[in-house]
């Protein structure tokens, strides 16, 4: 299989540099990294791709059985690392892709130098005392609404997910991105994402990680970041003063500064 076509792989930066791979979140595509790529392409070989079923990926490659769990995407990620990376990678994952990165790194930790998680969540549903941000009824309503009227759900939810009330064009951009996604695939991916529970996988992770959380995020409240920071033995938690779930779009300068500070810190010695 042609992995480049399957995942619409695009590479920025020269050969011989350490590899940074960026993976977008639900309903998005690789264009969401446009503010970050210029800042890192001079020092890293930045590999962008679209999750199968998203963006300009090969929709014919979408297999409901394979992608019936996030592990299917993690397996794809490991294939992309083998094909396009030089040495252990710095993996940057937004939202659900942060979980995909954890699943992949738990299988092959030697392939990962570190992980940067933007708005991650191992579980979206509350499970006392854990707070994921949604009740079971909330998620059921969300999925039912998507099933009944995906385009209507997209136009309503995208601005709320994006936040950034002072940048309404970003909410419209996210709504447009949702609407470009095949509705059947989007609804399937949403169920896989919002009904998953990967808390144990995060606790097993031994890869150095930056958890980049927003101060006001509808999808992943601050308590989620605090939970992961305590669960992951080699993690750094940074809270960005930002309203919304996509700080790489709505607060790129703060996101870049946090990433640069994390990457400049020497790794711990054994």
- Structural domains of the chain sorted by starting position, each given as residue range(s) with its CATH number in brackets: 3-264 (3.40.50.1820)
**Interval 45-70: pLDDT, tens:** 999 999 999 999 999 999 999 999 99
**Interval 194-210: pLDDT, tens:** 999 999 999 999 999 99
* Confidence at residue 256, expressed as pLDDT on a 0 to 100 scale: 98
Q: pTM value?
A: 0.96
Residue 184 makes CB contacts below 8 A (sequence gap 6+) with: none
User: Please, are residues 120 and 99 in contact by the beta-carbon 8 Å criterion?
Assistant: yes
**Interval 141-197: pLDDT, tens:** 999 999 999 999 999 999 999 999 999 999 999 999 999 999 999 999 999 999 999
**Interval 88-139: pLDDT, tens:** 999 999 999 999 999 999 999 999 999 999 999 999 999 999 999 999 999 9
Q: For residue 95, indicate whether it is catalytic.
A: yes
Q: For residue 248, indicate whether it is catalytic.
A: no
Q: For residue 217, indicate whether it is catalytic.
A: yes
| pLDDT of 13 above 50 | yes
* Confidence at residue 146, expressed as pLDDT on a 0 to 100 scale: 94
Q: Which of 114, 198, 217, 235 is catalytic?
A: 217
Q: Categorize the per-residue pLDDT at 16 as very low, low, confident or very high, splitting at 50, 70 and 90.
A: confident
* Confidence at residue 265, expressed as pLDDT on a 0 to 100 scale: 79
Q: Which of 54, 57, 95, 255 is catalytic?
A: 95
Q: Which of 24, 94, 198, 245 is catalytic?
A: 245
| pLDDT of 270 above 50 | no
């Amino acid at each position: 299989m042609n992995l480049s076509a399957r995942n619409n792989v695009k590479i920025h930066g020269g050969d011989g540099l350490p590899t940074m791979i960026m993976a977008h979140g639900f309903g998005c595509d690789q264009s969401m990294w446009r503010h970050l790529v210029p800042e890192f392409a001079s020092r890293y070989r930045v590999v962008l791709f679209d999750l199968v079923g998203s963006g300009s990926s090969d929709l014919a490659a979408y297999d409901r059985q394979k992608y019936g769990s996030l592990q299917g995407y993690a397996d794809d990620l490991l294939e992309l690392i083998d094909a396009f990376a030089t040495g252990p990678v710095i993996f940057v994952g937004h939202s659900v892709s942060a979980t995909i990165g954890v699943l992949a790194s738990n299988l092959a930790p030697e392939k990962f130098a570190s992980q940067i998680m933007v708005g991650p969540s191992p579980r979206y549903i509350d499970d006392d005392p854990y707070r994921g941000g949604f009740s079971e009824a909330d998620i059921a309503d969300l999925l039912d609404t998507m099933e009944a009227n995906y385009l209507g759900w997209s136009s309503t939810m995208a601005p709320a997910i994006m936040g950034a009330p002072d940048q309404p064009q970003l909410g419209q951009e996210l709504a447009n991105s949702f609407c470009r996604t095949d509705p059947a695939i989007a609804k399937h991916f949403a169920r896989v994402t919002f009904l998953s529970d990967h808390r144990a996988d995060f606790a097993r992770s031994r890869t150095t990680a930056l958890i980049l959380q927003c101060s006001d995020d509808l999808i992943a409240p601050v308590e989620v970041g605090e939970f992961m920071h305590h669960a992951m033995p080699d993690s750094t938690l940074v809270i960005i003063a930002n309203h919304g779930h996509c700080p790489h779009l709505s607060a790129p300068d703060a996101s870049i500064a946090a990433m640069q500070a994390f990457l400049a810190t020497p790794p711990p010695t054994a």
